[in-house]
Chain A
Amino acid sequence: MAVSLVDGDAVADVIESHSSTPGALLPILHEVQDALGYIPRDAAVRIADALNLSRAEVHGVITFYHYFRSEPPARHVVQVCRAEACQSVGADALISHVRERLGCAKQAHSADGRFSVEPVYCLGLCASGPALTIDEHLHARMTQEKFERLASRLEEQS
């Protein structure tokens, strides 16, 4: 898969800006993902070359951390907390409902690629659960009714 010239420049700029950062791999991966939404295979190869690491090492780091993506994300990403504090106020039922509602019951992405639903382990909103994020915006004290309003708004957007 070829990276477009623009993407290539973006990756080169990120690598260049970290030429003197100690332990630069994670900061570089973050910035590439911030810019492109994920870390394309070609970008990983270029990062490995620039940092004098093997491709396996870079691949190992990308796949070790839950936050990094090797594939483009859906247009809207919903992350539902399933840690204990949110479980105690109904997170399991909420995540099932969210998956069902957005067409992600059987797979991570909806068939039209618009939505994906992912579990997340703690957003630090443990006194106001259940909590979720929609495209990185936080929402707490979530109910199925509140989610319905948010879901309708998302559908209008896309």
Chain B
Amino acid sequence: MKEVTVYVPKDSAALAVGADEVAAALQVQCATRGLPLNVVRNGSRGLLWLEPLVEVATPGGRVAYGPVTPDDVPGLLDAGFLEGAPHALRQGAVESIPYLASQERLTFARMGVNDPLSISDYEALDGFAGLRRAATLDASAIIEEVTNSGLRGRGGAAFPTGIKWKTVRLAEGPQKYVVCNADEGDSGTFSDRMTMEGDPFMLIEGMAITALAVGATEGYIYVRSEYPHAIASMNEAIARAEAAGFLGDNVADSGEAFRLSVRKAAGAYVCGEETAMLESIEGKRGIVRSKPPLPALQGLFGQPTAINNVITFASVPIILSRGAQFYRDYGVGRSRGTLPLQLAGNIKYGGLIEKAFGVTLRQLIYEYGGGTRSGRPVKAVQVGGPLGAYVPESQWDVPLDYEAYAAMGAAVGHGGIVVHDDTADLSKLARYAMEYCAIESCGKCTPCRIGSTRGVEVIDRITAGGGAVSSQSEQVELLRSLCDTMLNGSLCALGAMIPYPVLSALNHYLEDFRIVEPAHPPVAS
């Protein structure tokens, strides 16, 4: 009997719903039945409601079954799933599942296909083609390619990547660094985690290209302590890339050196702010630095440093291998290329959706997400993590692009989309935003440190009601004024953006704050 290859993902989102147990059950059951089996632990396709999504390699292509539990395994084998036979859990040919087939996967093209730690599998799917090309180019030509692609920082700030790199390139310094911000603390986001676990060489390749472009020889990846699997995967991938000559003394035969290492963070959300992250890598408390100087000029250990988010670096290899024009042909307005969106929270079909800019929230929530998991109506959607606005239904048709979102007081951020059903209390979520800011504030600037605690208190006073009506509306005014102070007076995005969820809750869901309408209007008309 011929050996059959079966893919069982090892992404955290699959492990958390029993993928290891499924893999073990498959091994045991097949051994008992005398069926030769080759289990490959791939990354996740990002169809997270189907995890563990087990794929069987058949002569007609890979057939998916999910969500599989260990108890399903005997039944699947009885039904003949090793030949791709029908079963209640059969999802069909994986590449034709509409959720996946309708995406524009540029960055996530390889995600879930192979063993993420196999260099030969990576190279078989265009891996290291971008770095090989970059190794033959001048630094300025690499930067020009990235600038022309229109790539902007995917961490949230959306700064043009090529311009940042040029600044680092031209800066004077004995040692330059490339630092990857993988402190993905935003609730509702997991694309960085999936990249590190599911396609780690892509991140390494992007960082190595950056190093050639800016003239850096040392690099760090700052990864959250909450992501142990990502840390293990990156460490192993770095060792393998070094052994294969894509890192080390002579990166891809360019004659240039680049050494990369992982730094484990320690659970401080504010360290996702780039200067706090630099402090942390230097071994200090994650206290935000005043800018200027820009980290591009004086960053890690005071040296010129190119800092980008995981997805920014991960977008670079395809820009170099396929050219700037190929990438910039995707997208709308000044938001070029694609964004790996993460559909999360109370959603029926949650997962990773990579689309060109311009897709709408309504498409994402209903066409992809299928509405809420609870089956209740969608009430609010938070876009861009804890610092992102709650977007009401009236704005769900706005095309997702940096400028369009900024114009309506929202932010695309890192592409996280968290759906809440009609049981959500927006005053509670606004209070949570302030509470979270108080827990995570680094404490350096007053609006963030004190304002967040005052914000919790003011929201409590509003929702407790009880006082005179005028005092309740006075408290709302006070909250708006506090938000204004934080927005304009905070040193970094934590304090300056936490008003987004709070103000959007006030603006669009005021009824949740339990404002009691006066029986007699205070001013007679």
Contact = CB atoms under 8 A, between A and B. Distances in A.
Interface string A71-106: 000000000000111111100000000000000000
Contacts of A85: 187-188, 344-345, 416, 418
Interface residues of B, number: 59
Contacts of B49: 127-128
Interface in B208-230: 224-228
A26 B193 contact: no
B418 A88 contact: yes
Given A23-B283, A124-B189, A127-B48, A88 B17 contact: no
Given A23-B281, A66-B268, A124 B286 contact: no
Interface in B388-428: 416, 418-421, 424
A26 B283 contact: yes
A72 B236 CA distance: 30
A67 B183 CA distance: 14
The residue among A26, A67, A131, A140 with the most chain B CB atoms within 10 A of its own CB is A26
Contacts of A136: 228
Contacts of B184: 124
Interface stretch (B8-16, B23-31, B156-164, B318-326): B8-16
Contacts of B244: none
A71 to B, nearest CB: 16
A64 to B, nearest CB: 4
Interface in B331-345: 342-345
Nearest to A24: B283
Interface string A38-71: 0000000000000100000100110011111000
A131 B418 contact: no
A122 B186 CA distance: 7
A92 to B, nearest CB: 9
Interface string B344-370: 111100110000000000000000000
Contact of B264 (A26, A123, A128): A26
The residue among A25, A68, A85 with the most chain B CB atoms within 10 A of its own CB is A85
Given A26-B266, A29-B266, A128 B16 contact: yes
A67 B267 contact: yes
A126 B188 contact: yes
Interface in B231-276: 263-269
Interface string A117-140: 000111111111101000010111
Given A83-B187, A86-B187, A120 B266 contact: no
A8 interface: no
A126 B189 contact: yes
Contacts of A30: 225, 264, 266
B268 A88 contact: no
Given A26-B283, A65-B286, A125-B16, A84 B266 contact: no
A25 B266 contact: no
A141 B416 CA distance: 19
The residue among B189, B344, B350, B373 with the most chain A CB atoms within 10 A of its own CB is B344
B268 A89 contact: no
B432 A87 contact: yes
B185 interface: yes
A64 B226 contact: no
The residue among B51, B285, B420 with the most chain A CB atoms within 10 A of its own CB is B285
Contact of A125 (B12, B225, B301, B424): B12
A27 interface: yes
A122 B285 CA distance: 21
The residue among A22, A23, A84, A125 with the most chain B CB atoms within 10 A of its own CB is A84
A128 B48 contact: yes
B284 interface: yes
Contact of B263 (A26, A51, A88, A138): A26
Interface residues of A, number: 40
Contacts of B342: 126-127
A121 B16 contact: no
A69 B373 CA distance: 37
A107 to B, nearest CB: 19
Nearest to A141: B17
A88 B416 contact: no
Given A60-B285, A86-B187, A127 B268 contact: no
Given A88-B346, A126-B345, A127-B347, A65 B267 contact: yes
Contacts of A138: 12, 15-16
Contact of B190 (A22, A23, A29, A124): A124
A67 B436 CA distance: 16
Given A23-B281, A127-B13, A127-B351, A68 B266 contact: yes
Contacts of A131: 16
Contact of B187 (A60, A65, A126): A126
Contact of A88 (B280, B285, B419): B419
A127 B226 CA distance: 16
Given A64-B286, A85-B345, A129-B345, A121 B432 contact: no
Nearest to B420: A88
A71 B267 CA distance: 17
Nearest to B230: A124
Contacts of B346: 88-89
A127 B368 CA distance: 13
Given A25-B284, A88-B420, A127-B49, 10 more contacts: A23-B281, A64-B285, A88-B424, A123-B16, A124-B226, A125-B13, A126-B188, A126-B350, A126-B418, A141-B17
Report the 10 A-B pairs with minimum CB-CB distance, sorted nearest first: A127-B350, A83-B187, A25-B283, A65-B266, A126-B344, A67-B267, A140-B16, A138-B16, A66-B267, A23-B283
Interface of A: 22-27, 29-30, 51, 57, 60-61, 64-68, 83-89, 120-129, 131, 136, 138-141
13 contacts: A25-B283, A67-B266, A83-B187, A84-B188, A89-B374, A120-B267, A124-B184, A126-B187, A126-B416, A128-B13, A138-B16, A140-B13, A141-B16
